Amino acid sequence: MDFIRTEIPDVVICKPKVFGDHRGYFSETFRKDTLEEFLGYKVNFCQDNESRSTYGVLRGMHYQLPPFTQTKLVRVIEGRVLDVAVDIRQGSPYYGKAAVVELNDKDRNQLFIPRGFAHGFVVLSETATFAYKCDNYYAPEYDSGFLFNDSFLDIDWRIPMDNMVLSEKDKNQPIFSEAEKFDFSKNLYEEYISNGR
């Protein structure tokens, strides 16, 4: 597995080695020790999620508030998506900036998104199967988010608005300036440990 930092260095592209022949392929999709060695801190994933969506489905922008903040490792099993992580750590030099990466079933790259970021994606292919690991359990009472097309963020989602398919929840999220944020001066990982996670 190779690792490449995005324009927001805490968000990392994970490039697996894929070994293929006439039978198909083999790929190691996650290895805790090499990821931790690159990051310089521990990761403790505890929940896997998977969704299947059709072209234009946009899910985002989502995150969980403390003490249920989440690190995610996301990938596409089938299809193509545009994946977006927005820094919501107030005081961060990258606050309000987005790391935007296409994930697909050909190069099989993954995106590591640490706590303090909102996440969303839109499906670019006819269908897509999307999977991700989390290091904290889903806690709906701590669920939060903001509007995917807030003009302050200026994200190019690469498909026409008329083709986007959203849940009622995502259509009615608050604008970015009104959403709850994180404090960059706090170590969200230490906060996670101190709360017994």
Residue 185: is its pLDDT beyond 90?
no
- Give domain status of residue 1, yes or no: no
Task: Please indicate, yes or no, whether the overall pTM of this predicted structure exceeds 0.85.
Answer: yes
* Residues 6+ away with beta carbon under 8 Å from 95: 87, 88, 89, 184
**Strands 18-21 and 117-123: what pairing?**
unpaired
- Give domain status of residue 185, yes or no: yes
Residue 195: is its pLDDT beyond 80?
no
Q: In residues, how long is the chain?
A: 197
Of the candidates 99, 51, 58, the one whose C-alpha atom is nearest the C-alpha of residue 78 is: 51
Of the candidates 95, 82, 54, the one whose C-alpha atom is nearest the C-alpha of residue 148 is: 82
Give residue-wise pLDDT tens across range 2-52. Answer: 999 999 999 999 999 999 999 999 999 999 999 999 999 999 999 999 999
Catalytic residues: 62, 132
3-state helix, strand, coil in the chain (%, to 5): 15, 40, 45
- Give domain status of residue 71, yes or no: yes
Q: Could you list the residue range(s) of the whole structural domain that residue 108 is in? A: 45-194
Q: Using an 8 Å Cβ cutoff, are 111 and 12 in contact?
A: yes
Q: What percent of the chain has pLDDT over 70?
A: 95
For the chain, how far is it from start to end, CA to CA, in angstroms?
Answer: 27
Residue 191: is its pLDDT beyond 80?
no
- Give domain status of residue 74, yes or no: yes
- Give domain status of residue 31, yes or no: no
Taking the mean position of all CA atoms in its chain, how far away is CA 69? 12
Q: Residue 132 sits in a domain of what CATH number?
A: 2.60.120.10
Query: Residue 197 — pLDDT band, cuts 50, 70, 90?
Result: very low
pLDDT for 196 equals: 46
Of the candidates 20, 5, 21, the one whose C-alpha atom is nearest the C-alpha of residue 107 is: 20
Q: How many domains does the chain have?
A: 1
Mean pLDDT of the region 114-133? 98
